[in-house]
Structure 1
Amino acid sequence: MILDAALRQARPPSPLAGRLSAQSLLFALGEGTFLTGSAVFFTQIVGLSAAQVGLGLTFAGIASFLAALPMGKLVDRFGPKKMWSLSATGQAAMFAVWPFITDFQGYVAMAVGMEVIGALGGAAHGAYTIDVLPPEERVKSRAYMYSALNVGFTLGSMIGGVALAIESNKVLHALPWFTTAAFLVNAAAISRLPRASHDDRTAEDRKVRIPGPGPLRNPGWLLTSFFGGVFWTNQGCSTS
C-alpha cells in the first residue's frame, strides 16, 4: 500500500508531461553519452589539442549567442513543434558528421553548426512547453522534465564511461553514431506530440505583439538567465 501510494505520487501530473519527460530523457541520453567521451574523441580520434577544442567551443558559444534572436523569430514564424523536431533532426545530422572531421576547421564548422541548431531547439522547446502545458501543471511538469534530464545525463555518462574504459578507437568512433540514433528517435518522438496553440496560429496572429514588457525590461528574467548561464558553463568545461 505504501509502495502504491509512493508510485502514484511519483507519476507525472498528466500523460503529456510523461511524454515530455521521456523526450527529455532521450535528449540527455544522447547528449550525455557524447559529452562524456567528447574530449577523448576530439583529441585522440580527430587529433586536436586541448587548446583547439576550447577555442572551438568559444566560437560555438558566440555563434549560439548571436543566433538566439533569429532562431526565436523562426519559432514564432513556423511554430515551436515543427522547429523543435527540425532542430533534433539537424543535431542528429551534425553528430553523424563528427566521425568524418579531420582538422580544426572542420571541427569549428560543425561545433558552430551544432550550437546554432541547438539554439533553435532551445527556443522551440521552451515555447512549446510553456504553450502546451496548463498553467496549473506547468511547474510540476517541468520539474519532472528536469528530473528526466538528470536521469538521461547519468545514463549517458555511464555509457560514455564504459566506452572510454574499453580503450578502443572503434568504440569511440561509435559514440557519435549512438548519439545520432538517440536524436533521430527524439525527433520522431517530438513529431508525435500534440500541436500547441502557437502551432495553429495564422501569419496574422503571429504579428500581434504579446502584451507586457519585453525581456530586456524584465529584471527578474535577466537575472535568472544570467545566473543560469553562469551555472551552465560547466557544460563547456566537460568537453574541453
Structure 2
Amino acid sequence: MRRIIPPAGAPRKLALAQLTNSVGDGAYYVVSVLYFNRVVGLSPTAIGAALTLGWALGAVAGVPLGHLADRRGPRGVAVLMSLVTGAAVASFLFVRAYPAFLVAVCVYACAQCGLAAARQALLAALVEPARRTETRAHLQSTVNAGLALGAALGGVALQLDTTSAYLTALALDALSFVVSARLLHRLPAPEGAAHTERPVGERRLAVLRDRPYAVVSLLNTVMLLYMPLLSVALPLWIVRRTEAPEWTVSALLAVNTVSVVLFQVRIASRVTGLDSASRSVRHAGYVLLLACLVFACSSLATSAWAAGALLLTAAVIQVLGEMLLGSGSWEIGFGLAPADKQGQYQGFYGSGTAVARLIGPLLLTTLILSWGFTGWLVLGGLFLAAGTAMGPAVRRAHAGTAHRASLGTGAAVEGS
C-alpha cells in the first residue's frame, strides 16, 4: 500500500484534495457532452466549438494565473481556482442559452488550467526537490483512482438517462471542487511563497522568454498526444477498423487506469534527476512507438479474439510508455523551473495538456482513421523523435538555468 498511499503530511493532503475533485471530474467527463446535447439542447458542433475555444483560452491563461500564484502564494490561488471551477460547473446546471454556456465553458477551462499550475507550484513549495517526482506520481495514481470511481458514478447516470441523474452528476463535480478547496486551504502556507512586488529589473512572465524551456515544453506536448489517442482516436479505431467487440474500449481503459494506480509510483522511483528523467522520456518514445505498431497490427487480425489480444497487448505497452513519460516529464518540468517562478513555469509546461487535447483529436483521427497502418507509423515516429530529442533539449535548458543561477538572476538548479 505504500506504493499507492502517499507519505503523511503535505503529500497525503495534496493527494486527498485531488482525489476529491477527480471523483467529481470522472462523473463530469462521462455525462457532460450528453447532458449538453440532450438537456441543454446544443448540437455536437456547438459543443465542440465551445470546448475548443475554452481550452485554447485555458492554455493561454495558465501562465498568468501561475504567475499570480508566484506573487500571491500558490495555496490561496489554488483555493480560488478550485472555487471558480466549482462555480463554473454549477452554472452548467442552469445555463440554457448558448452565449451563457460559452462563457461558462471558457471560465471552466481557464480555472482548470490555473488550478493545475497553482497546485504544481504548491507541491514544489511544500515538498523537497528529491521527493517531488515521487509525490507527483502518487498524485497521478490518486487521480486515476478517483476518475475511475467517478466514471462509475457517471455510468449510473447514463444508465438512468434522466435529467435529474445528469444534474446530480454535475452537482457532484461542483461540490467536489468546493471540498477540494477546503482541503487545500488546510495545507500550510509555503514560507516566502507570496511576493507583492517584482524584484527590480526582473521581467514579468519570464517563462515566455525562456526559449530552451519552450522547446522542452513543445517536445512534452508532442508526447502528450497519447491522451487524445486513448480517449478519442483509439475507440474509433477499434469500432471502425478492427474485428474486436465494442466493449474492448472499456476494457483497455480499465487496463490503463488500474496500471497507473498500481505501478506509476514504482516506475517514478527510478527517476532521481534530470539525466534519469531524460532517459525515462527517451525510453517512453521507444515504447510508445512499439505500442503504435501493435495497435496498427490489430487491423490485420481476422477474428475478434485475435484483434482483442493485439489491442490488449498494445494497451499494456502503451501504459508503460505513459508511465515512463510521466515520471520523466514531471522531474523535467520541476527541475528546470526557477524556484521562485514555479507557478508561471508550471502553467506554461502544463499548457501542453490543453494543447494536446485541443489539436490532438483532429490530428489523430486524420492520421489513424484516414491513413490507417501508415498513420500509426507516423504517430509512433513522432513519439520516437520527441522522446529522443528531449535529452539534448533538457541539457541545453539546464545549462541556461545554471548560467542564470551563477549570475544571480535565477533560482538554484534542482533535480540535477
Does the pair score TM above 0.5? yes
Pick the aligned partner of 1:41 from 35, 49, 65: 35
**Match status 1:69 vs 2:63:** yes
Matched, 1:217 2:212: yes
67-76 vs 181-190, which deviates more?
67-76
CA distance in 1, matches of 2:171, 2:96: 17
CA distance in 1, matches of 2:194, 2:64: 21
The alignment partner of 1:199 has SS state of: coil
Larger radius of gyration: 2
Which amino acid is the alignment partner of residue 99 of structure 1? L
8 Å CA contact 1:24–1:146 kept in 2: the answer is no
Q: Structure 1 residue 92: deviation in Å?
A: 0.9
**Amino acid of the residue matched to residue 139 of structure 1?**
T
Q: Deviations over 1:160-196 (max 9, x none)?
A: 0001111221111222211111111000000001112
1:92–1:179 Cα contact (<8 Å) kept: yes
Higher relative contact order (CA 8 A, sep 6+): 1
What is the CA deviation profile of residues 38-76 of structure 1, one whole-angstrom value per residue up to 9, with x for unaligned ones? Answer: 111001110011111111111112211221232122122
Distance 1:24 1:45 in 2: 29
Corresponding position: 1:197 with 2:191? yes
Task: Give per-residue Cα distances to partners, 1:118-137, cap 9 Å, x unaligned.
Answer: 12111111111112111222
Kept in 1: contact 2:22–2:146 (CA 8 A)? yes
Cα distance, 1:191–1:167 mapped onto 2, change above 3 Å: same
Structure 2 CA distance for aligned equivalents of residues 64 and 117 of structure 1: 7
Verify: 1:108 aligned to 2:97, yes or no.
no
Q: Matched residues in 2 for 1:26 and 1:194: separation?
A: 19
Aligned to 1:227: 223
Displacement of 1:84 after TM fit? 0.4
SS at 1:32's partner residue? Answer: helix
Counterpart of 2:60, as a letter, is L
CA displacement 1:72-112 (0-9 Å, x = unmatched): 22122211110000000011111111111112222111101
Matching of residues 171-190 of structure 1 within 5 Å: 171-190=165-184
Structure 1 residues 97 and 129 mapped into 2: Cα distance closer, same or farther (>3 Å)?
Answer: same
Cα distance in 1 for partners of 2:6, 2:145 equals 15
Paired residue secondary structure (2:96): coil
Structure 1: distance between partners of 2:206 and 2:164: 54
For the pair 1:120 / 2:97, whether they are aligned, the reply is no
Structure 2 residue aligned with 1:136: 130
- Does the 8 A contact of 2:125 with 2:193 survive in 1? no
Q: Which runs of 5+ in 1 are unaligned?
A: 1-6
What is the Cα deviation at residue 231 of structure 1?
3.3
**Number of paired residues?**
230
- Map 1:13-24; keep pairs closer than 5 Å: 13-24=7-18
Shift of 1:148: 0.2
Distance 1:148-1:207 versus aligned 2 partners, 3 A rule: farther
Moved more, 141-150 or 197-206: 197-206
Query: For residues 102 and 212 of structure 1, do their structure 2 counterparts lie closer, same or farther at Cα, with a shift above 3 Å needed?
Result: closer
Assess if the C-alpha contact under 8 Å between 2:27 and 2:154 holds in 1: yes
Distance in 2 between the 1:150 and 1:62 partners? 24
Give me the whole-angstrom Cα distance separating, in 1, the residues matched to 2:26 and 2:53: 21
Structure 2 equivalent of residue 4 of structure 1: none
Alpha-carbon distance between aligned partners in 1 of 2:74 and 2:193, rounded to the nearest angstrom? 6
TM-score normalised by L of structure 1: 0.86
1:58 corresponds in structure 2 to 52
1:77–1:206 CA contact under 8 A, matched in 2? no
Q: Bigger shift: 96-105 or 141-150?
A: 96-105
Match of 1:99, SS state, is coil
Under a length normalisation based on structure 2, what TM-score does the superposition of the two structures give? Answer: 0.51
Whole-Å Cα distance in 1 between the matches of residues 208 and 163 of structure 2? 52
CA distance in 2, matches of 1:207, 1:24: 37
For residues 206 and 185 of structure 1, what CA distance do their matches in structure 2 show?
Answer: 39
Query: Does the C-alpha gap of structure 1 residues 231 and 205 become closer, same or farther in structure 2, counting only changes over 3 Å?
Result: farther
Moved more, 153-162 or 164-173: 164-173
Are the counterparts in 2 of residues 94 and 110 from structure 1 also a CA contact under 8 Å? yes
> Retained in 2: the 8 A contact 1:80–1:124?
yes
Which residue identity lines up with residue 223 of structure 2 in the other structure? F
